[in-house]
Chain A
Amino acid sequence: MALDVAWARRWARESAAAIAAAKDELMELDRQIGDADHGENLNRGFQAVVAKLDAQPPPGTAADGDPAASPLIADVLKLVATTLMSSVGGASGPLYGTAYLRAAKVTGLSVLDAHGVVALLEGALEGITSRGKAVPGEKTMVDAWTPAVEAAIATADAGGTPEDVLEAAATASAAGAVATVPLLATKGRASYLGERSIGHEDPGAASSAIILRAAVRAAGATEAAA
């Protein structure tokens, strides 16, 4: 199955479903070291994304030149970006919004090859770091995205398929999220806890891993691994 605009739409819907399912778990992670709103806010944002996708005609059915029926992956990513930015709030709204906006630097591509997937993930990471000014090891979503990008690059360079690259990224992000447990938070709300932030998984890293796993499911490649 090609990683095309239909995949990008499925990714957005799969993300929404996965975030809705994990809403309580994310809120509990955030309750432990933050203010307990991460699951609620992200769910609100992704439900808004689904509403916008539902309002669009399916690709190829609208009149020629209708931007809503654009065949470009970047346009789906931009729709996700602007919707999250205007409906999530908190820190994760601007961070995820900027991530999808920069991921849309795959502008012009209608199908992603392995290096196209890498470019998308690199764009997302660059967006998060430029907006949030976090570096790896600070117990933030950067700790999920950095290993995801590294694994994606290694898999693409080794000749992996686009699906292999996504799978590697999702697996690495999940490991990265778990690896935030022993870290001391130095950015974001959890940083106010100091030493007491140690021993809890970062909710932003956890939701990042969920979203990347949704990308794999949307590709239909490794359903069983999800």
Chain B
Amino acid sequence: MKKLINAVEDVVAESVEGFAWAHADIVEMRTDPLFVVRRGGAREGKVGLVSGGGSGHEPLHAGFVGLGMLDAAVPGTVFTSPTPDHVLPALAAADSGRGVLAIVKNYTGDVLNFETAIELADADGIEVATVVVDDDVAVKDSLYTAGRRGVAGTLAVEKIAGAAAERGDDLQAVAATAARVVANVRSMGVALTACTVPHVGRPSFDLPDDEVEIGIGIHGEPGRRRIPVAPADDITAMLVEPVVEDLALTSGESVLLFVNGMGGTPLSELYVVYRQARRLLEDRGVVVARSLVGNYVTSLDMQGASVTVLRLDDELTALWDAPVHTAALRW
């Protein structure tokens, strides 16, 4: 394993420290426990937004703290959700008295730890609403699994709910908007290589050079099936089709098309995927009204990509377009 790290156990803290120094105009870092909060803390009169989870998905979530998005982000150790006593102070720091929306990715560890933290926050008199993001169509039947995973669609939930909070919506309204995004966003990913978790020191799964994993999550876990390497257009079709089918998109509908890199894939390849995804959507008469391409919800150094489609209406489009000023996303 070759990585630009010092000691394995210091990776997260040192990375967050560097992040906070680099973006000191936007965020502040708190220690013991470690979390990132919007510079100046909670905004008076605004519903707070908090997310978090295991590290290794940068820029998610700390990179999305700032104007128009999150108020606090809680990084756990690599691929491991933070603990309840770690989440609780972030919920408190984001609360200005109008309550807090917790945005939780549907992974068992994230759900259990946030659930406990929210019980503790409730006991402290902090009102918390929760939205669980579960956009990954690779996981089919929640009867036989832990349910769909929360992956790249989380970015859309954080951006749009953040804009709703910024314009002054109350907690119930922000939570309802976030839930509407969750109901209309779907993702599917592919891995060309496994990632290497620093404390493991070797790839998370063994993937032969001539095969790819279709239907991966964002924790280096293997996907649903393994296929021989194929041209980008063919692989992109395998990502786009289940997403479009699951959303039951019809001709004339508008969408956000988001092609996300897993951390180890160059932008040039992500644009190749975007090109084909866009063609496939337009072939069906779907209007790609908004786009995003880049490494936003990553899996350390994994090579791969995911395709996320969000069905838009006028309100969601306006909220997506609203100003955002964070380390990783701004317009």
Contact = CB atoms under 8 A, between A and B. Distances in A.
A89 B145 contact: no
Contacts of B264: none
Interface string A155-195: 00000000000000000000000000000101111011110
Contacts of B108: 91, 132, 187-189
A94 B220 contact: no
A93 B109 contact: yes
Which bracket fits the contact residues of B?
35 or more
A41 B80 CA distance: 8
Nearest to A24: B200
Contact of A192 (B76, B149, B200): B149
B220 A89 contact: no
Contacts of A34: 221
A89 B76 contact: yes
Given A37-B79, A187-B146, A94 B199 contact: no
B309 to A, nearest CB: 21
Interface string B132-154: 00000011000111100100000
A188 B113 CA distance: 14
B48 interface: no
B221 A196 contact: no
A36 B200 contact: yes
B330 interface: no
A32 B197 CA distance: 14
Given A41-B80, A186-B145, A192-B149, A91 B204 contact: no
User: What is the predominant secondary structure among interface residues of chain B facing chain A?
Assistant: loop
Interface string B70-85: 0000001111111111
A191 B145 CA distance: 5
Given A35-B197, A187-B108, A89 B113 contact: yes
Contacts, number: 107
Contacts of B276: none
B139 A192 contact: yes
Given A93-B109, A192-B139, A192-B146, A35 B204 contact: yes
Nearest to A41: B80
B144 A90 contact: no
A89 B81 contact: yes
Nearest to A36: B200
B35 interface: no
A85 B109 contact: no
B313 to A, nearest CB: 31
B149 to A, nearest CB: 7
A86 B83 contact: yes
B127 to A, nearest CB: 22
Contacts of A95: 112
Contacts of B220: 35-36
Contacts of A189: 107-108, 146, 219, 221
Interface in A1-55: 27, 31, 34-37, 40-41
Given A37-B199, A85-B116, A86-B84, A194 B146 contact: no
B114 to A, nearest CB: 10
Contacts of A132: 108, 112
A104 B181 CA distance: 42
A40 B78 CA distance: 11
Contact of A188 (B81, B146, B200): B146
A87 B78 contact: no
Contact of A40 (B112, B139, B199): B199
A205 B71 CA distance: 38
B145 A35 contact: no
B167 interface: no
A36 B204 CA distance: 7
B84 A91 contact: no
Interface of A: 27, 31, 34-37, 40-41, 85-95, 131-132, 184, 186-189, 191-194, 196
26 contacts: A31-B200, A35-B221, A37-B199, A40-B77, A40-B199, A85-B83, A85-B85, A86-B83, A87-B83, A89-B54, A89-B76, A89-B81, A89-B86, A89-B109, A90-B81, A93-B113, A94-B84, A94-B112, A94-B115, A131-B112, A132-B108, A187-B145, A188-B108, A189-B108, A189-B146, A192-B149
Interface of B: 54, 76-86, 107-109, 112-113, 115-116, 138-139, 143-146, 149, 197, 199-200, 202, 204-205, 217, 219-222, 224
